[in-house]
């Protein structure tokens, strides 16, 4: 493990900063998945709880999907920063929209 960490190279910065940023992204994804899991379990407890499922979807669109896009798009594709920013912002806005509709009761079962 140490040998792998010593082989890390960073462009334009310290490798420790890159590892810390990646670690925070993983933590953010893990926490949002855990919260979404709690919401889905609440939804499965009985009828009339569709709002909990929609809150889980909104949370995933607001946090998990953008974090994954921030890491995966530059790693896997050669998409530019403008397209990447548009994709991330679209996911975040969609998540906020779903949460807003859920809070105001506009989501049907």
60 with 36: CB under 8 angstroms?
yes
Which tokens in the block code for residue 105?
A: 């009761």
pLDDT digits (tens, 9 = 90+) for 8-63: 565 667 778 878 888 999 999 999 999 999 999 988 887 778 889 999 999 999 99
CA distance 32 to 34: 5
How much is the pTM? 0.78
pLDDT of amino acid 63: 94
């Amino acid at each position: 493990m140490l040998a792998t960490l010593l082989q890390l190279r960073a462009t334009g910065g310290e490798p420790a900063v890159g590892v810390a940023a990646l670690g925070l992204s993983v933590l953010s994804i893990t926490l949002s998945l855990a919260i979404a899991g709690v919401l889905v379990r609440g939804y499965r407890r009985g009828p009339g709880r569709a709002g909990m499922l929609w809150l889980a979807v909104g949370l995933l669109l607001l946090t998990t999907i953008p974090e994954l896009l921030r890491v995966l798009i530059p790693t896997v594709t050669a998409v530019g920063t403008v397209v990447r920013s548009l994709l991330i912002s679209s996911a975040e806005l969609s998540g906020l929209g779903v949460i807003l509709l859920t809070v105001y009761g506009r989501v049907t079962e």
